Amino acid sequence: TTTIIESIGTYLPPKVVSTKEVLRACTRRILFPLERLTGIRFRRMAGDSEFSIDLARTAIENCLKRSEYEAEDIDLLICCNISRYDGPDFNYSFEPSTSIKLKRDLGLTNALAFDISNACAGMFTGVHAADGYIKAGLARRALVVSGEYITHLTRTAQREIEGMSDSRLACLTLGDSGVAVLLEKSASPEYGFQ
């Protein structure tokens, strides 16, 4: 048994910010070739009314628009974002989990739903877990999603960073986005994850 990606949905917030703009906004001047070293010229930043769950929700909606399946056809929903920043004024949410909220909001009535958190490798971990459910016959169709709203960490680093050896330098590379993949069993073992 192999697993394939049946559809993909993404969401990139409309605001585009360059690495040069990020460095210019730092309180202390940072003389570090961040763009040249990372290759990151631009990143997307969510607006004042968009948060982690909104990015994930839009990615799922885009994924389902491209899919031959409807929300009620999904057996498994795994949410992989590390950010739980779901509202203004640093409104963090831990319970109910993001997957449960998305299940309710999007009509994924038949889906087993849970969250996995594994930092930057979260989506790969979620895909791996979903692949296991599909191979074991515990799910026919699995939706793996992440909505990351983490550029507030960039703004904090811009105020606090002390120089190019500061561990917060990595925070200047962050961006916001949502992604969802719908996985299912392949019709042929020669196609799919090997």
What tokens were used for 90?
A: 């640093």
What's the confidence (pLDDT) of residue 18? 96
Contacts of 89 (CB under 8 A, 6+ apart): none
Q: What span, in angstroms and rounded, lies between the C-alpha atoms of 86 and 91?
A: 6
Give the pLDDT confidence score for residue 183 in this predicted structure.
97
Q: What is the pLDDT of residue 168?
A: 87
- Give the residues across from 21 on adjacent strands: none
* Angstrom distance (rounded) from CA 23 to CA 143: 37
6 with 68: CB under 8 angstroms?
A: yes
pLDDT in tens, the chain (194 residues): 899 999 999 999 999 999 999 999 999 988 888 899 899 999 999 978 898 999 999 999 999 999 999 999 999 999 999 888 777 776 777 778 899 999 999 999 999 999 999 888 899 999 999 999 999 999 999 999 999 998 888 989 999 998 778 888 889 999 999 999 999 999 888 888 87
Angstrom CA distances, 48 to 14, 15, 52, 189, stand at 12, 11, 12, 46
73-97 b/e (C-beta count within 10 Å ≥ 16 → b)? bbbbbbbbbebbbbeeeeeeeeeee
The tokens for 94 are 């831990």
> Which of 82, 63, 83, 84 is closest to 74 using CA atoms?
63
Q: CA-CA distances (angstroms) from residue 91 to 55, 107, 126?
A: 15, 24, 25
Per-residue confidence (pLDDT) for residue 167, from 0 to 100: 86
